Amino acid sequence: MADSKPPKAIDLFAGPGGLSLGLTLAGFDIVGAIEWDPQAGMTYRHNIGDHVTIGDIRDVPPSEMDRRLKRAGAIRSKYEIKLITGGPPCPGFSLIGRSKIANLILTGGWDGSDHRHSFIDDPRNQLFREFVRYVSHFKPKHFVMENVGGMTSYKDQDERPIISVIKSEFESLGYSVEARILNASDYGVPQNRKRIIFLGTRDKRRQTIQFPKPIGITLSSRDAISDLPRVLPHLGRPIEKILKP
């Protein structure tokens, strides 16, 4: 008899919990999450669950997450984790991020005269390796990693396309990996938001990785929120009256 329990997942770089919410609605049991930003982490904790760790992922190695999940009774074995998801921070990969860093260099706000070298050395550009370490430790059947579309034009210090570097690291762990740029507007989101999505599997029954097909309908912001009550100026309460000191 097949196990009817929801598959367990870990959400890295979880933000306020949008991806965890979607996975929960899709039938997954999110047993662990990590988010660095305190406000985003508290939002996650309030809306999704208190299984989120608020802090730097580099201070929570996968072995520590493993121990915490076992101590909490969320898993008995690390192999119960079937999916790992997340979107590592990407300032050096995004075109906007590169523009900001370049401006800091030009104005003296960033130490370094070689723009290219500075992009490479930005430690935030290496956070995807933390994702790889989690996949290496838990060995889930599948993983989903997203990042900005600008990553496709980025190369490492050896002039290798970063996309190829990332794919090869996962492939060395035994995963089949595909990467594709998807636009959220093709899937019912009222926003033109392009992201590169890495899908990986080590399920031998799934040799072909399939990305979702566009739904064929584009929604505008009016379509999404026009039914909400109108909020007129001066009719709400001052925010200081709402927030507790």
* Active site (annotated) includes residue 90: yes
Query: Could you identify the residue written with the tokens 């059947």?
Result: 141
Catalytic residue among 65, 90, 135, 148: 90
Alpha helix stretches (DSSP H) within the chain: 18-25, 38-47, 62-71, 95-106, 115-121, 128-138, 162-171, 221-225, 239-242
CA distance 49 to 74: 13
Q: State the distance between the two ends of the chain, measured CA to CA, in whole angstroms.
A: 54
Residues 6+ away with beta carbon under 8 Å from 106: none
Residue keyed to tokens 């660095």: 36
Instruction: List active site positions.
Output: 90
